[in-house]
Amino acid sequence: MSQFINSRRPRRNRKSEAIRAMVEENRVTVDDLIFPMFLLDGKNQKIEVGSMPGIFRFSTDLMLKEIEECLKLGIRAFDVFPAVEDQHKDKTATKSYDPNFFYLRALREIKKQFPEACIMTDIAMDPYSSDGHDGLVKDGKILNDETLEILGKMALAQADTGIDILGPSDMMDGRVGYLRDVLDKNGFMEVSIMSYTAKYASGFYNPFRDALDSAPKFGDKKTYQMNPANRTEALIEAQLDTEEGADFLMVKPALAYLDIIRLLKDNSSLPIAAYNVSGEYSMIKAAALRGWLDGERVMKETLLSMKRAGADIILTYFAKEFASLTN
């Protein structure tokens, strides 16, 4: 028999479920999660996203029921995205700040019925833009400073509905400071900003764009979203967002960017959010449906990897499924 020179045996701390639980270093709970949801105009609408098994687009009446169900499972935070029909889209995203538009009316109703829920919203032009880009387009270029004014109108309209957190996902330079200033000057000092700090130009977003029909009508988003090859650049974005008044910093996507989550966690005192994006969700679901993976186990392992990397908050389409399994 082999003789151990060192008497340390790490396996002793793995010998039973009770001991493993005692020494567990990281744990994902429902309180860590934000559930992204897709909102439709109309009534009694529940349409599954073809490329996201188990995820649906809801009209307001059915989204209210879905949120109520999620609250009973312990999910308390929701990120609501609008699926806007083409007839409502234009080059300057005017519907994004129309108080009578279905998205803003729905947000107001959600907060009225569920004041205890934390509601996050999206600040970017692409759901409302006929060009499908996050910023204003002129001669094939995305205009930065001109976009900020539109984002400011959007932010004020959303804040006025009573929501809790704004999520600027547009990646325009200076938008966090601009939005913070606009919000404060108009009396919305309590509205938080979760900045999409390190949002990469990724191939993992396609199912989300299917859900909202918001893909760019030309080109790509590489002139404003980050290069997947870059790490140090995330620190520059984080420093700027912090100085401009962000309350949370987000990394998107999450699974292929665990190193960036850890980088921001190690270099910031702000809470770090990770967006477990649509493509990450869909590839697990697709493999599980074919029997190639244990979907439940891989879901939990994936979320745990984000937590272990340093995420304080995880936006994930697995939120309801995770909550159902842990209740």
Tens place of pLDDT for every residue, the chain, 327 residues? Answer: 556 567 888 999 999 999 999 999 999 999 999 999 999 999 999 999 999 999 999 999 999 999 999 999 999 999 999 999 989 999 999 999 999 999 999 999 999 999 999 999 999 998 999 887 888 889 989 999 999 999 999 999 999 999 999 999 999 999 999 999 999 999 999 999 999 999 999 999 988 878 877 677 777 888 899 999 999 999 999 999 999 999 999 999 999 999 999 999 999 999 999 999 999 999 999 999 999 999 999 999 999 999 999 999 999 999 999 999 987
Beta-carbon contacts of 72 under 8 Å, excluding residues fewer than 6 positions away, are: none
Distance, CA of 186 to CA of 76 (rounded, Å): 27
Domains of the chain by start residue, with CATH? 27-325 (3.20.20.70)
Known binding residue 244? Answer is no
Element of type H or E holding 293? none
pLDDT given at position 188 = 98
pTM: 0.95
Q: Are 275 and 284 in contact (CB under 8 A)?
A: no
Q: Which of 89, 95, 221, 252 is catalytic?
A: 252
Classify strands 56-59 and 46-48 as parallel, antiparallel or unpaired. Answer: antiparallel
Q: What angle do CA 260, 210, 33 make, to 5 degrees?
A: 45
Q: Which of 199, 221, 265, 285 is catalytic?
A: 199
Tell me how far CA of residue 204 lies from CA of 47, 207, 221, 276, in angstroms. Answer: 22, 8, 13, 10
Active site residue 199: yes
189: number of CA atoms within 13 Å, CB side?
A: 2
